[in-house]
Amino acid sequence: MERGLRILVAGLFLAFAVGTAAAETWPAPQTTMFKPDWEAARAAVPALPRKAESTDRLAELTQIVSGVFPALANSPVPVLLPFPVADYARDHAAGSSTDGDYSEFKPTKFFLAGPTGYDAAFSVRTRDVADFADINFRDPVVVQISGFNMLYDLPPAKGVIVQKPGEIERDSPGIRRQILESTLRYSFERFGVPYVISIQCFDGPQRRNRLSCRNADRIAGRFLRALQLVGGNPDAETDAPAPAVIRPEQSSSVFTYHRVGALLPGTAMRSNTGDADKTVYARIRFPTAATPAYVNSQSFMHGGDCNQTGRRRVSPGYRCRINSKPLFRDESAPENYSYPWRDNFCENRHFFVGQCAAGLGHQGQDIRPASCATKDTNKTRCQPYRHGVVAARDGMILREAWNDSFFLVVNAPGERIRFRHLHMHPRKLDDDGIVSGHLVKEGEPLGMIGNYNRRPGWTTTHLHFEVLVPTRDGWVRVNPYMTLVAAYEQLIRARGTEINEPPSDTPADTSIEGASEAIAASAAAPITAKDTNTARSKTKAAPRTKVKTKSHKVRSKAPRRIAHPGKMRTKKRR
């Protein structure tokens, strides 16, 4: 009996081991961890009105300032903020009102601290500060600061403008100043961990609706000099890893996708390469509320504007000058709402992206919803605001009320990530409470998929989705494609089929009529969404290669000056 029981237990253990080994996980990102020097932080705590029972001055400081920043004790790294601790602590100890303005940099409602550090956003109106009165900028300037105990390891970014830090280096030895992805960044280390300060700016002359990077630098310098230690909690540290993303065992009969980096032929930006990053950066809930959903190009598919690179007439439709794919003018064309998916990160756009080969390109992935109901007044355009967007993870919203995009910021064990959403109407976002500081749960509704691009109807109906992770250069964009593939597989509880053959361009003399038969035949049947669970484990990062696509000569010239993302005057698709 005892021998039989041992055999049974051994058999069960072997079966479990085989099943575990057979589970296929997606490649995870590589990261570097940092250990804070808490003794150095305690030595930097300013003089405080001490309580008789207090033994830990850092803990006391954290408790006092938590009256303004309630999540302060959740930070596993020392927290630096432009906040006059001594003045606030004095008023707090005296029982005086602490509702006044303690700094010219006003805290917004966005302050998020968690297992991998903290993020905070402050705002300042240039007209309210005498030294900035000459800066004619209509909106408040938002300054962000982040502290990290982990960073993501990525290839060096393209298009970085490195500048000498100037006088501020005397106070912060080793500090770095650079402009990357239309953002001024100061990165430095203190107490053994990295920090970054960032301000979105325009590398050109000051305008009323565009903050020049030169003026952003003046504001950032003042922000840096105002930083003080305001708290932190060594007990908040955790070594828990991020969960592995496991592929479903069952295969889908309909879901197919082109390999990562395989852009539509000829559509890469000043290059013949896409970014073949196979990394799945996090386990997320797919961001559309329902399935099916379709990841593909908005500019170079049917109804697209070819990103203003020029069109050629091909009866009864057109084709883009940079390739020979025949297209209909109808946004609702079946191929737009069909598998396979197509990567469009680094596609032809005049936006800065450090991980694209040219340093320019499309900053995220475009996702079409399940279906298109055309407008009564224009049968070639899809009606917006009919399909929902949901939260990819638990997190906090980062968005000012006037902005037409927002971030969902995630701070979890072993993970630090931001998801940017675009083309949802700002007024609807305001009405739904999608503003800085709003906490959301995974799967919670965030709004509806729209076609807003500085004004209604200036793009196709789709969700633009970006992924940003922290590096030594600060927050940078990475290719979301495989993260979305993995999330979609989890949602439909079935793995997709990758199309491995190299993409082939359609001959220039192919007729629209002939292509339409293949387009219609590729339409996929609807599928049902289900929830799934993932296991926890650690994986290594995937190797990154460059995928070549066929390039074509482009006669039209790119603009000489690259405009601030989101501020382009022309009617371009994102």
What integer pLDDT is reported at residue 390 of this predicted model? 98
pTM of the model: 0.85
Q: What is the pLDDT of residues 5-33, one digit of tens each?
A: 444 444 444 444 444 445 799 999 999 99
Q: What is the 3-state secondary structure (H, E, C) of 25-88?
A: ECCCCCEEECCCCHHHHHHCCCCCCCCCCCCCHHHHHHHHHCCCCCCHHHCCCCEEECCCHHHH
Give me the helix-helix angle, 85-94 and 57-65, nearest 10°: 80
Amino acid identity, residue 347?
Answer: E
Nearest to 495 by CA among 539, 532, 463: 532
Instruction: Identify whether the C-beta of residue 259 lies closer than 8 Å to the C-beta of residue 500.
Output: yes
Amino acid identity, residue 376?
Answer: D
Q: What is the pLDDT of residues 538-555, one digit of tens each?
A: 344 555 554 444 444 434
> Strands 294-295 and 365-368, how do they pair?
antiparallel
Instruction: Identify whether the C-beta of residue 188 lies closer than 8 Å to the C-beta of residue 206.
Output: no
Measured in whole angstroms, the distance separating CA 36 from the mean position of its chain's CA atoms is 26
Strand partners, 389: 288, 447
- Residue 222 tokens read as 């003042």
Interatomic CA distance for residues 565 and 159, integer angstroms: 15
User: In the chain, what are the domains?
Assistant: 31-231 (no CATH), 251-499 (2.70.70.10)
Nearest to 301 by CA among 272, 342, 256, 349: 342
Question: For the chain, which residues score pLDDT lower than 50?
Answer: 1-21, 503-540, 546-572
Interatomic CA distance for residues 329 and 425, integer angstroms: 24
What integer pLDDT is reported at residue 90 of this predicted model? 83
